[in-house]
Amino acid sequence: MQQIFGIAIVLACVFGGFVLNGGKFGDIWHPIEILIIAGAGIGAIVLGNPRHVLNEMGIQLRKTIRQRKQGEEFQRQLLLLMFELLQTAARGLKALDEHVEAPAQSPIFQRYPLILEEPKLLHFIVDNFRLMAMGKITGHELEGVLEQELEAIHDELMQPSKSLQKIGEAMPGFGILAAVLGIVMAMNTVADGATAGDIATSVAAAMVGTFIGIFLCYGVLDPLSNVMKQLVNKEISNLECVKVVLCTHLSGKPALLAIDAGRRLVQLNIKPSFAQLESWINAMQDSASTAAADDTPRRRSTDRPANVSNLQRQA
């Protein structure tokens, strides 16, 4: 919504100022020049990027338009999920397998739907907990592995924004290309006996191409590439949080201290305090103990007939 509002401001100020200055929309509405410039830009993107980069670019562009705000609730679910997984791993790695092998069916992961909606973050969590379950690995060794992995992920996720920024920088050149073609057509009208007024109109129409190229560069594509970079940085910060939690836990620290180490890497505007984190964990543990207490009478009632039948068989 914020990006749509920003585009509306740009359009209103640029074209509104043009109209207030006495201009007419018909003077700058030339669909053929828009086709030339936009088509050249799209073709250059397709030509210069592999398919997986194009797919990721489409995903990131959709996120810029309808991005979900990863606020306090998202961070609460991420930190509590990591805490529960660490608690499960402390009871034994076999207890952890059933959750990391099929996270969509895991009761732990199902309690945190916002994390399930982020496939990259979910795969990162599952893969590294599976790595912990496979065998002994020290915190220092895991930190070295994850640093290289995060660097590779960051470079790959930044490719779409870099490509879009390069195309944005090329837009004025494509605008000049369209303007040159318009000038060529205007000069051809001289040979056909066109009047000075007709030639001036053709030249003015040709110069619209330069305006469109500059407008797309600085008013649309450059801001979009900047938003995409910020989205990537948010995703990487979540992965960094998971990395620090795992490495701190493998270094021998308790689960609460490991989660607090990850909390410190959360972005400042949404970072919870340690007291708030502790209150989240206490509330989760209280609800879990309450649920366990509610299940105890049910288990006893279901166990009693079985015990009676066993006594009868023994008799």
Chain Cα centroid distance, residue 55: 13
Query: What pLDDT digit, counting tens, does each position of 236-273 carry?
Result: 999 999 999 999 988 888 889 999 999 998 888 888 89
Domain total in the chain: 1
- Kindly tell me if the per-residue pLDDT of 153 is higher than 60: yes
Q: pTM here?
A: 0.80
Confidence of residue 30 (pLDDT cuts 50, 70, 90): confident
Q: Which residue has the tokens 């000038």?
A: 183
The verdict on residue 307 lying in a domain is: no
The verdict on residue 129 lying in a domain is: yes
Residue 124, pLDDT score: 93
Confidence of residue 312 (pLDDT cuts 50, 70, 90): very low
The verdict on residue 14 lying in a domain is: no
| Closest by Cα among 131, 128, 124, 133 to 90 | 133
Give the domain range for residue 263. 41-61+73-286
The verdict on residue 18 lying in a domain is: no
The verdict on residue 16 lying in a domain is: no
The verdict on residue 185 lying in a domain is: yes
The verdict on residue 212 lying in a domain is: yes
Computed over every residue of the chain, the mean pLDDT equals 84
The verdict on residue 302 lying in a domain is: no
